[in-house]
Amino acid sequence: MFFNIPSHSGDPILGLLEQFRSDPRPHKVNLGVGMYYDEAGAIPFLASVKEAERRVVDAATARVYLPMEGERAFLEVVAPLIFGAALTDQLPLATIQTIGGSGALKIGADFLHRFFPQKNVWVPSPTWDNHIGIFEGAGFIVKSYPYYDPETRKFAGDAMLATLAEASRGDIVLLHPCCHNPTGVDPTKEEWTSILDVLEAHQLLPFFDMAYQGFGAGQDEDAAPIRTWAERGRDVLVSLSFSKTFSLYGERCGALCIRAGDAESAGNVLAQLKLAVRRNYSSPPTHGMRLISTILNDAELRAQWLAEVEAMRVRIRSMRSALAALLRKLQPAHTHDYLERQTGMFAFTGLSVHQVARLKDEHAIYAVDSGRICVAALNEGNLPVVAKAITEVLRST
Ligand code: LMR
């Protein structure tokens, strides 16, 4: 039966990680997948997570099935991260623990498709490649709205608003509340107001995908567009990933939070989310969730974790500035200001597919085909090599 199954070219991001791991060149640099590396070039094991792990292991018992929606102690601390404590208390919410941010998107997509199969899903152009795959996989027609202008390297606000104004009532709009992946270009506060106004005027349903809370401007600042929308009393879906912010990529822990019309509808939505979980994987895993829940439920560990996220944010910013400074020296005729304007883990360099291939083949530097590099993987040691290699591929192509 399987003789005629075609192969697949591989995932544009995770496939790169496979290639990087099997590359024998000792000086290789991975700027492909979005993972935070510390100054020593290692994925950090956060001190708050280490302490939480000690406590969780000390208290370990047999692992029974968790409830389909996840453990209460975890769920209670998730929504306030998104909406802030005061607002959370006033909102009719359905929250579940998920298998990473991808799992939250998948459960959200399955739930939406079950009840609104005729709606379109709008994603920014460009966006994280898997957004399209997940929503198409759930059965939706996925359309894109302009987001980024490659000429100016800035947010294409007018084009985005004009396109969304043409969307049909009830269509679903995928938004990155902060640290846009892959461009690093985020709307300003005023631009967010215009976006939310269009969503409201045309009765569109936002689905915010928040994978980098705290890596942009700060914990509260990064969630601001979601909070403003919720304050307007409107429905919303939010997927949350803890992979990057807790440096717990392999634990696959995230959450999906839906603000529904009232307490009764939130209860019904939760029942449907549980059904979607059951149909996909029955119930979520324990370990990563317990680490995160231990940290967020303990004032001291929570403060330590917040400081660790802030330190990551500051280091990413300093790497942006350092790369821009080096490129200014090596390519004085060009402006590199865009690097410092962008936020979060990624920089959108404008490198072509061909130039990205040359970076890999000739310099053992891995980037995504779109020209996205992970700034969070730069350090004082690899910066000069990366800046020189980028300059070389730009000069001779
Ligand atoms: C990325 O964009 O590199 C990360 O979100 C990892 C992934 O799953 O693609």
CA separation for the pair 281, 278 (Å, rounded): 6
Report which DSSP code applies to 178: S
Distance CA 186, CA 160 (A): 13
pLDDT at 333: 86
Q: Is 298 among the catalytic positions?
A: no
* Catalytic member of 209, 274, 305, 360: 209
Asked if 203 and 251 count as a contact pair (C-beta separation under 8 A), the reply is no
Two structure tokens written together for 304? 């330590």
Cβ–ligand 1 distance for 66 under 6 Å, the answer no
Write 388-393 long-range contacts (CB < 8 A, 24+). Answer: 388/330, 389/359, 389/362, 389/363, 389/365, 390/327, 390/349, 390/351, 390/359, 391/327, 391/330, 391/331, 392/362, 392/363, 393/351, 393/355, 393/358, 393/359, 393/362, 393/363
Catalytic-residue membership of 209 = yes
Residues of the chain with pLDDT under 70: 397
**DSSP for 67-102, written as a single string:** PTT--HHHHHHHHHHHH-HHHHHHS-EEEEEEEHHH
> Is the minimum distance from the CB of 34 to ligand 1 under 6 angstroms?
yes
Model pLDDT, residue 335: 85
Q: Which residue is closest in CA terms to ligand 1's atom 1?
A: 34
Residue 334: its pLDDT value, please?
86
Angle formed by the axes of helices 299-330 and 383-395, nearest 10°: 40
Share of the chain above pLDDT 90, in %: 97
- Side chain identity, residue 160: M
Beta strands at 172-175 and 120-125: parallel, antiparallel or unpaired: parallel
- Cβ of residue 13 lying under 6 Å from some atom of ligand 1: yes
Tell me what pLDDT residue 396 has.
79
Q: Can 305 be counted among the known catalytic residues? A: no
Tokens in use for 328? 């200014």
